[in-house]
Amino acid sequence: METPLSKAQLDAFRNDGYLLLKGMLPAAACQQMLAVTQDHLQRAVAPLEYEAEVGYAGAPASLDSTGGRTARRLRAAWQRDDSFRQWASSPQLVAVLHQLFGEAVHATLAHHNCVMTKHPDFGTATGWHRDIRYWSFERNDLISVWLALGPEHAGNGGLKFIPGSHKLHMQPGQMDELDFLRPEVPANQALFAQGISLQLEQGDVVLFHSGLFHAAGRNDSDTVKASVVFAYHGASNHALPGTRSAASEDIALG
């Protein structure tokens, strides 16, 4: 098996909980996925999730409100188009993940498996959270893979991370009922101060641990931001029976 990551990159992922791989995917492949995304957004090809359905602060109150049918994500990216499947199962990406997991790689279609879109005006902010809050596996050891289909930065709702936060043990009271960090808690405010904002260009890829706290702001630009997101786990880390994590297909990638 190819080992594309250096020791420094492996150490960075283990210490920080994320790894940025600049220019991992060529522009032509990104443009193909972006064209599919724009077409499916225009035609509202199901399944979609709308901002009004998420109900975050500042979101439209209902689907029939102004901006209520602003798409937050195109679900089932793997099933939508071959361009997404090619990327999600690409030998280059699988080799990187195999190195990080130290074993064969599986993609779970139960989580992420989407194109995240953030629109001007109605693209709401996402508070500090961990992906593992709604995933059910034997071990908290999964990796989210985020591909930027265009520029991402603080001004259009780009990703923010708290480096090393995947190793934290949270105390009762730090999280709200939805497992977001409560902003009024002093210990959390100290964590927020450690947050960093990533600046991505088309084709950049970020891999981050399922226990890493991350967030994203509003889109204050005048264009839609789009990112392809898939989730992966090692072959020995199984979804818990009877949970949402076990309810969708799990794909062995080698």
In tens, the pLDDT along 84-134 reads 999 999 999 999 999 999 999 999 999 999 999 998 887 678 899 999 988
Q: What backbone phi and psi angles, to 5 degrees, belong to 97?
A: -65, -40
Q: What backbone phi and psi angles, to 5 degrees, belong to 21?
A: -115, 105
The fourth-level CATH superfamily of domain 7-60+68-252 is q2cbj1_9rhob like domain (2.60.120.620)
On whether the CB atoms of residues 147 and 228 are closer than 8 A, the answer is yes
Q: What is the per-residue burial (b if ≥16 Cβ within 10 Å, else e) of 116-137?
A: bbbbbebbbbbbbbbbbeebbb
The string of pLDDT tens digits covering residues 202-240 is 999 999 999 999 999 999 999 999 999 999 999 999 999
The string of pLDDT tens digits covering residues 9-21 is 999 999 999 999 9
Token couple for 166 = 């995947």
Residue 1 has pLDDT above 60, yes or no: no
On whether the CB atoms of residues 4 and 96 are closer than 8 A, the answer is yes
Q: Are strands 142-148 and 205-209 parallel, antiparallel or unpaired?
A: antiparallel
Residue 58 has pLDDT above 70, yes or no: no
Residue 61 has pLDDT above 70, yes or no: no
